[in-house]
């Protein structure tokens, strides 16, 4: 199964509109929705009317931009942003002093998703991949049994050994509580084309998620192009983000 998932749905009007265009073109499967952002509520309405499958794009690193966000939530979000973006290793560190902030901000976003989409999120990933930060995982802030995005997949030699070892540990931890895909990649770099051809071909045997950001003009143009269809070949893009039965 080949799942192309568009991140940042609802962040702003351009992001929403370009993502919807790609979905209507059948070049993406699903989207990950941001809440408490400028276009979150309109995006939810469009998702319902177009039958676009959306999960929660947990945001712990970017200021909420919607009107009327509670002051307390904004303050907790700022504290998390300062921590997670203040040090390149912050994601792997557990911060006991911010445990209540992590719990409050995560719960608030799940509740807001439920309010505007009418259901609890069945899957979660994260802005800047911070759903995999140590506080979120150690505090078990994501409900057991739901689908959660795994760490990036890399071939041996692409990253340093410690980097790959850390990702393996995170993926094993995720698999004990959540449903995950077999592989996860980013759409870019778009060149050389052989890279994407190999990724897409994996989906003939495995469940593969590819992350994309249609607000990026190059990615948007590629997803609407004949080149994308040629590279995908006879591997169809899934029409929603649904893992095969029994997949963990």
- 158: pLDDT strictly greater than 90: no
- The confidence score (pLDDT) of residue 162 equals 75
Residue 43's Cβ-count burial label (10 Å; 0-12, 13-18, 19+) is buried
Which CATH code is given to the segment(s) 2-232?
3.20.20.370
Residues 167-216: pLDDT tens digits? Answer: 888 999 999 999 999 999 999 999 999 999 999 999 999 999 999 999 99
Structural domain boundaries in the chain: 2-232
Q: Per-residue pLDDT averaged across 19-36, rounded?
A: 98
d(CA 4, CA 164): 23
Strands 183-186 and 208-212: parallel
Determine the pLDDT at residue 157.
Answer: 60
Query: For residue 102, what are the CA distances in angstroms to 36, 80, 110, 116?
Result: 16, 7, 12, 21
Query: Omega before 189 cis (within 30°)?
Result: yes
**pTM to 2 decimal places:** 0.94
Evaluate if residue 86 carries a pLDDT over 50.
yes
- Checking if the pLDDT of 233 tops 70, the result is yes
Q: What is the pLDDT of residue 139?
A: 98
Q: Name the nearest CA neighbour of 125 among 111, 112, 109.
A: 109
Arithmetic mean of pLDDT, 226-242 = 94
pLDDT of residue 53: 98
């Amino acid at each position: 199964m080949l799942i192309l998932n568009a991140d940042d749905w609802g962040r702003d009007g351009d992001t929403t509109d370009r993502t919807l265009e790609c979905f209507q073109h059948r070049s993406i499967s699903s989207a990950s929705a941001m809440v408490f952002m400028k276009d979150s509520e309109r995006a939810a309405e469009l998702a319902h009317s177009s039958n676009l499958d959306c999960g929660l794009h947990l945001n712990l690193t970017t200021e909420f931009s919607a009107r009327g966000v509670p002051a307390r939530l904004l303050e907790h979000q700022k504290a998390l942003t300062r921590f997670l973006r203040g040090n390149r290793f912050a994601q792997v560190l557990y911060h006991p002093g911010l445990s209540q902030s992590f719990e409050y901000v995560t719960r608030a976003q799940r509740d807001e998703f439920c309010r505007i989409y009418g259901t609890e999120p069945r899957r979660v990933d994260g802005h800047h991949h911070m759903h995999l930060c140590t506080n979120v995982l150690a505090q078990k802030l994501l409900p057991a049994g739901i689908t959660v995005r795994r760490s990036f997949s890399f071939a041996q030699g692409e990253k340093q050994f410690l980097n790959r070892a850390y990702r393996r540990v995170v993926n094993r931890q995720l698999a004990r509580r959540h449903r995950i895909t077999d592989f996860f990649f980013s759409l870019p770099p778009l060149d050389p084309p052989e890279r994407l051809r190999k990724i897409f071909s994996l989906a003939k045997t495995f469940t593969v998620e590819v992350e994309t950001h249609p607000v990026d003009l190059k990615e948007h143009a590629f997803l609407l192009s004949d080149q994308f269809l040629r590279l995908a070949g006879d591997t169809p893009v899934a029409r929603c983000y649904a893992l095969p039965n029994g997949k963990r």
